[in-house]
Amino acid sequence: MEFTAQQIAELLNGKVEGNPNAVVSTFSKIEEGKPGSLCFLANPKYTNYIYETQASVVLVNEDFEAQKPIKATLIRVEDAYRAIAILLDIYNKMTDKPKGIEKQSFVHKSAVLGKNIYVGAFAYIGKDVKIGNNVQIYPQVYIGNNVTIGDNCIIYPGVKIYYNTKIGNNCIIHSGTVIGADGFGFAPNDGEAFLKIAQIGNVVIEDNVELGALVTVDRATMGSTIIREGVKLDNHNHVAHNVEIGKNTVIAAQTGIAGTSKIGQNCMFGGQVGIGPHITIANGTKLSSKSGLSNNVLKEDSLLMGAPAFDIRAYHRAYIHFKNLDDIVKRIDSIENKLNEK
């Protein structure tokens, strides 16, 4: 479909600067802009491309100041990054979505399915499952007994959802993710084989959660492993038994969270972060990539780095000394040798 710059501006409460009748039918990156496409500029790092791009329309922030002539039509908005997210979501919703239940799938007779459902080939839906309206379940998805899934969810191919899992509305679960597998619970046995501790709890995922590909969320030993509303987990994350992740927390790839840890709201973790067991992390905490946390974080909005993690400003100061450690040791050795000669 085609839209004019003016139509897009009205949708975003933006202001057109240039040709309001410029037409676009697709999206592009600003550095790869082509005629008929729309792109955006939010990161100053890419500012030089706006003077060269062949895109027909560019979204920019209200305070953007051009230093040279620009060929493209601009749409000034409050937040270009948020504006492009809105447009991409609208575009995605306009694309055709599969519907109906394909013949090769299995749906237990006791399962209750809502309206406008899609169930792909070789998907399995178990006993007493309840699925809301407008849910898409792609091929080779397994949904165990007594699972509940809310409205407007998308479950991509190969997802495995164990029994008793509760999933809210507007959730997206990407391919290969496993929800509700046993937590890692084993008891020592006087030198014999470890005794497995039965994991009899479940997983609860609230509304508007998105789990990337190959995420694993373990069921609780007792009670629930809980992922609160608005949480976003990148690919290859592991959430252990009885963990609770607070509202609107985002976690980058390859992070591991050990059992029974409690993570607050609005936290942000970089990639490859490690969280130890039984740890409490305050609201708004930010952990830099590769950080390792073994103690509670009690101060809200802390910014930490390192393994073990500590205040990022102190880390940067310490790192300066670490880089010079070899020279420092040589200087100390030299001083000691001179003292010993006396």
Q: Please give the share of the chain, as a percent, with pLDDT higher than 90.
A: 84
> What's the confidence (pLDDT) of residue 323?
81
What confidence tier does 259 reach under pLDDT thresholds 50, 70, 90? very high
Q: Does the pLDDT value for residue 126 go beyond 90?
A: yes
- The torsion region of residue 61 among left (phi > 0), alpha (psi -120 to 50) and beta comes to beta
| Gap between the Cα atoms of 204 and 225, Å rounded | 6
- pTM > 0.75: yes
For range 280-301, the mean pLDDT: 96
| Element holding 57 (H helix, E strand) | strand 57-61
> What's the confidence (pLDDT) of residue 342?
65
Active site residue 241: yes
Scored b (16 or more CB within 10 A) or e, 258-292 reads bbbbbbbbbbbbbbbbbbbeebebbbbbbbbeebb
Tell me the pLDDT tens digit for each residue of 160-202: 999 999 999 999 999 999 999 999 999 988 888 999 999 999 9
Superfamily for the 3-94 domain: MurE/MurF, N-terminal domain (3.40.1390.10)
> What's the confidence (pLDDT) of residue 324?
81
Set 241, 278, 316, 321: catalytic member: 241
Mean pLDDT across the chain:
94
Superfamily for the 100-313 domain: Hexapeptide repeat proteins (2.160.10.10)
| Gap between the Cα atoms of 176 and 196, Å rounded | 25
- The string of DSSP letters for 70-91 reads --SEEEEES-HHHHHHHHHHHH
Q: Where are the domains of the chain?
A: 3-94, 100-313, 314-342
| Element holding 112 (H helix, E strand) | strand 112-113
> What's the confidence (pLDDT) of residue 332?
87
Q: Does the pLDDT value for residue 333 go beyond 80?
A: yes
Q: Which two tokens stand for residue 62?
A: 């209200």
Collapse the DSSP code of 136 into the 3-class scheme (helix H, G, I; strand E, B; otherwise coil) and give the result: strand
Lowest mean pLDDT among 99-108, 181-190, 273-282, 312-321: 312-321
Tokens 């619970």 appear where?
Answer: 185
What confidence tier does 37 reach under pLDDT thresholds 50, 70, 90? very high
> What's the confidence (pLDDT) of residue 90?
86
